[in-house]
Structure 1
């Protein structure tokens, strides 16, 4: 039993009606492709992705994210683990995330499985929607990009309240390379941050942006030297603890002024799935070359 579990047990004795039926925090926050570490001093839950295959959002990783969000809300609501800050990073060297599961996409397109594409995309945006809203709790979400974020990986970053990126990391939406567009939030998030025209220009370009460029655009909120991203996140949390309530209220007000309904995100997914089924064999081969490149990257990291 960890020291934190002992503390939880003591808390349960003090508040038996609130937490007696709740499993220990350590028992709940266990996942196949996510590692978690709780800092009780700052009430921060640090989480790192460790994708089982390629550094992308495979369906099992998405399921881990659903459980992760459910566990967090239960722990916060019962008082078993007060969480004010939620940090997400990645253990894959040089990569935050390369986005969607291109292998799954190619298979679904070849078999004309429109439902599989929609199901995958809806699951993605449902996770991002809850993250954007801080799980509807007073939680500030922070993304830590110690490596590149492309496609859906970049879209995921856009759902966080705060993004800290290390210098030298790259970001982009390369979907136009194989005849698609980013369908899991890019249009919705970027249009609200940059305006519709600039968002469309960014998506159509298919180009890669540096962390420094995104900082100038306001999409990255802090730039860290290589290897110093985690220290910067920890410093940000310490420096802003007294302003936590104000920050949560500001993010809530921003959502009220410029709301983004889940239905809008899901409608774009539906358009994306329709477009995916119009891809040519040449488009699919380009997609599969990216899958092969991601696999080589994984194999290199494993050595």
Structure 2
């Protein structure tokens, strides 16, 4: 198991504005892609599945020592097998903070008989939802909605996924991969309603999803262009956080920061997670282990 000292060793300092008084920020923890399984490592891909138990326990120790409103995992709690939840979820229960989950593609690498149990096993009321903290609206999305793995075969969303992937392959798109997904019409309508209500309430919005949508990357959702265009219509959307691409990434468009957090499962002994602080004029991300630190200015709303 990683020690607290080894986890802290890879972190970089926060960016701060010296001599300026700041309101108390909203602070929360971010974890991406623990991808636990009781399985040998895939060294070709750099996946050390079983080591995620120790990495997560060490991260929990660090996060429990801080004043946070919640900790969110941006998908892929497990790599495969429904029984994997039984090993890793007890570690999450040692967090003293509220715990939030986003669904990832590997969370559905379970038997067909267990597909409809994943949401409940993670304690989620639904695959996508929203919540507010200190005047900020967090919108949690489900990029597995229309995919080849989350809906059962025969579900209309599964057939729609076949069609969307075929069109993406015909267009030779870099994200035409069977392990990506997209939003269904009902979720898109819900997202638009939620963003409209947040704008009317004067709330800034942070979007949380498993899949990246910007910049262009093989890991992006099939409908990434449509998602970015929808978010661009709402100036109160300030950030989009995701996992899935374990190498991490960053992009900026329409005043929105698109931050791809690095995967915890990668490397045998180095972790990756973060603490995010949101202030009136910026977002500060303090990265631990392989996760870089960033300071991202916020536009006025």
Q: Give the TM-score, by structure 1 length.
A: 0.30
Q: Which has the higher helix share?
A: 1
Q: Which has the higher strand share?
A: 2
Q: Which has the higher contact order (CA 8 A, sep 6+)?
A: 2
Q: Give the TM-score, by structure 2 length.
A: 0.30
* Higher Rg: 1
